[in-house]
Structure 1
Amino acid sequence: MSKFKIIPVRSSGEIKQFVDLPWTIYKDSPNWVPPIKKNVMQLLTPGKHPFWEFANRELFLLKQGRKVIGRIAAIVDDNYNKYHHEKAGGWGFFECIDDQEAANMLFDAAEVWLREAGMEYMHGPFNPSTNYEVAMLIKGGQVPPVLMMTYNPDYYPALVEASGQTKEKDLFAFKFNRGHQLPEWVTKIANRLVDKGEVTIRHLDMKKLNEEVVLMNTLYRAAWADNWAFVPATDAEIAIQAHELKDIIEPRLAFFLYHGDEPIGVGVILPDANPLLKEFNGKLGVTALYKLLRHKSKIIGTRCIIFGVKPKYHQTGVPLVALDYIMKMSEEFPQYKHIEMSWTLEDNAGINDLLEDFGGDLYKKYRIYRKDF
């Protein structure tokens, strides 16, 4: 008889335990960054977050006696399955003590639920889709994560693999330090295209944020449409993410590329607010403003979270214009010491070769696992 017991989340107290568990798992981890509990609760709650307008989920807790020692979400994303013509189930929000039996019980519970929902395989982690935090860290755990990138204990990959799951896809994160110089030929091509007016660049207009967000989403869809595991985010999803991030957006670090009057590309670089989130420790209470002012100087990095150009412009030098612009803008903000470009697919040779050839440091890797039923 197992010393563990698994239960589906039903009560408000149980969902609170689900949200609170990481504070136990990571209590001795100096690199873990606590999420804002209110945001996690909203993201997990049907009726409060637009993701669940087209998706279903079951949350599970694993207990040893009265103590919660594991959690997992089983997810069916109808938009993903319609887009890819598949019957894929996802798992995410996984946390667990270092115990194989415990991990197996969590994955088994997710598998049973997904099988009963008619799915043909499961993969993850997705928290809850590729438009949010995704994948398991397998390299680079000695460095804290940047904004909206995952972090996990070193023992997690072994737990997943021993449960019968195998690699489906790896994701890469590249780092460029401040002062990094692109090859001269890149700058020449970029400058020529801009000087001739073949490509123009404009910053984000915060006064028209809602319209700008819709345009970002349109360009993101066009640029990523054929990518593995891509699923178009709805305007409602994008709107709620923009609301959560609007206070840290720097308009000059979010930009659009145009060919004539046609928008053809988009880039969004966000200050890495994770050092602040660490100080907030999951809460945005009355002391949040004080902590913001006191610890703002700890924000010394950025993350390029969106980088996309319409496919028909991939071979025209437009991606070089965007990359050159990103590096130039980084120099205008002396408080930022580095930028992470993340994430990219392991088999996206075009962008990966570009970033590596230009001196990017492939310093982190993440993995999506899969199990066919």
Structure 2
Amino acid sequence: MQLQEVVTPGHAREFLAFPVRLYQGDPHYVRPLDRDIETVFDKQKNKYFRHGQLVRWLLLDASGKTIGRVAAFVNERTANTFAQPTGGMGFFECVDNQAAANMLLDGCREWLQAQGMQAMDGPINFGDRDQWWGLLLDNFGSPLYTQNYNPPYYRQLLENYGFQLYFNQYTYFRDVAAPLTPEYQEKAAVLFNDPNYSFEHLRVKNLAKYAEDFRQIYNKAWVKHDGVKEMAPEQAANIMRKLRPIIDEKICWFAYHHGEPVGFFIALPELNELFRYVGGNLNWWGKAKFAWHRWRGAVRTMTGIAFGIVPDHQRKGLEMAFILAASKTVQDTSKVHYEDFVMNWIGDFNPKMMRVAETIGGEIWRTHGTFRYLFDRSQPFERAPVID
């Protein structure tokens, strides 16, 4: 076996093609869009290259056949926010062979050590946490859009190597039509009826305003999280520009206190219910199939990708009022037509947000896990710290 660094267009194409062969015959596998994967490794498109570096490999057997792939990377903005300087490992795919997995992971470890790292997390993304983050641990059904999918044996490959679970990532599920309990509605009504608060769904014509509102709330609510840095105005604007073609205004909500943004709830139509038909390629034919299946109403799930409330308005019941406001539209079948609601993952280091998800009737539906490997095996391992 040998590692082949991805340095040519042919190598890059094989990096995309190998998982398609690996999962051939798996009815739950949904091929990611090629362009979504390629963007991660494009220095012109991925902003993380401005403050980081990356290398990726294919693993070839004695006959030259690909039997694995992986990427290793350093995000210089977050690498030194942990007890040990920590790099990343991601886009791991491998046949069920421990020696093959070890060679891929050894390559990552050796390269990261040369960059001054003392640990690696994986499988994670060289990018934002809402995409390609974590190892699938249960409910091996079809993945959500940009959610990692893998066979069950990957966990054993990583743990046999020495990775340990750093934190669990819970995806919550809720039936859209299930009513909020009377007790919940009564508590939520206190702030919902408070004239100092207002709630509104996003309007695309004012997208720039909502991008800035999103940024302000994000920076106040999320920067305290381990490994999270402030969001710049251009980053928020870019996120909203990318989302614009698929935004459903009525499932993206903002809360205000005296006109100042204090909370957001962003959901999107579940795109893998459409992308499963395009084979990873949004060429003209892929776009035609995408449009056809969207027109016929193939999307029955909405995915909550972000929820945040600024600290000064937490523990007041605002999240309850927020959900009550949104439910008056989301549960109105004359306005929206979704049956299921899934929420972007919540780490087990964030019990407060877990309680919010459970309070609105959410149940854990799927678990991913972020694993960590300490290069110095004599060092004590600690789980991710719990957020107050």
The TM-score range, normalised by the shorter chain, is over 0.9
- Equivalent in the alignment of 1:372: 374
1:11 aligned onto 2:8: yes
CA distance in 1 between counterparts of 2:363 and 2:65 reads: 41
- Equivalent in the alignment of 1:96: 94
Distance 1:27 1:327, change over 3 A: farther
CA distance in 1 between counterparts of 2:5 and 2:112 reads: 14
- Equivalent in the alignment of 2:176: 178
Distance 1:102 1:327, change over 3 A: farther
Q: Is the 8 A contact 1:131 1:233 kept in 2?
A: no
CA distance in 2 between counterparts of 1:35 and 1:119 reads: 30
**Cα displacement (A) at 1:95:** 0.8
Q: Secondary structure at the match of 2:306?
A: strand
- Equivalent in the alignment of 2:337: 335
- Equivalent in the alignment of 1:291: 289
Letter in 2 for 1:317: G
Distance 1:139 1:314, change over 3 A: same
Q: Secondary structure at the match of 1:227?
A: coil
**Cα displacement (A) at 1:240:** 4.3
1:116 aligned onto 2:114: yes
**Cα displacement (A) at 1:233:** 4.6
- Equivalent in the alignment of 1:227: 225
Q: Describe how 1:47-58 pairs up with structure 2 within 5 A.
A: 47-58=44-55
User: Which of 270, 273, 281 is the equivalent residue of 2:268?
Assistant: 270
CA distance in 1 between counterparts of 2:247 and 2:133 reads: 22
Q: Describe how 1:1-373 pairs up with structure 2 within 5 A.
A: 4-64=1-61, 65-81=63-79, 87-129=85-127, 130-141=129-140, 143-296=141-294, 297-333=297-333, 334-373=336-375
CA distance in 2 between counterparts of 1:98 and 1:225 reads: 38
CA distance in 1 between counterparts of 2:341 and 2:18 reads: 31
Letter in 2 for 1:60: W
Deviations 1:31-81 (Å, cap 9, x if unpaired)? Answer: 122111123212211123212111111111101222212111111001113
Question: Could you tell which deviates more after superposition, 50-59 or 220-229?
Answer: 220-229
Q: Is the 8 A contact 2:52 2:76 kept in 1?
A: yes
Q: Is the 8 A contact 2:130 2:305 kept in 1?
A: no
TM (norm. structure 1) is 0.93
Q: Is the 8 A contact 1:51 1:237 kept in 2?
A: no
Deviations 1:77-104 (Å, cap 9, x if unpaired)? Answer: 0111355585111111111111111111
Distance 1:86 1:241, change over 3 A: farther
Distance 1:289 1:13, change over 3 A: closer
CA distance in 1 between counterparts of 2:12 and 2:21 reads: 15
Q: Is the 8 A contact 1:81 1:87 kept in 2?
A: yes
Q: Is the 8 A contact 2:84 2:119 kept in 1?
A: no
CA distance in 2 between counterparts of 1:340 and 1:326 reads: 15
Deviations 1:99-139 (Å, cap 9, x if unpaired)? Answer: 11111111110000000000111111112242432101101
CA distance in 1 between counterparts of 2:330 and 2:247 reads: 14
Q: Is the 8 A contact 1:74 1:113 kept in 2?
A: yes
Distance 1:325 1:86, change over 3 A: farther
Distance 1:214 1:13, change over 3 A: farther
Letter in 1 for 2:116: G
RMSD after superposition: 2.0
Letter in 2 for 1:49: N
Aligned residues with identical type, % of pairs: 25
CA distance in 2 between counterparts of 1:217 and 1:23 reads: 37
Letter in 2 for 1:363: W
TM (norm. structure 2) is 0.89
Distance 1:86 1:79, change over 3 A: farther
Letter in 2 for 1:344: I
Q: Secondary structure at the match of 1:219?
A: helix
CA distance in 1 between counterparts of 2:320 and 2:131 reads: 27
Flag structure 2 segments of 5+ consecutive residues without an equivalent. 376-388
Aligned residues: 369
Flag structure 1 segments of 5+ consecutive residues without an equivalent. none
Distance 1:331 1:359, change over 3 A: same
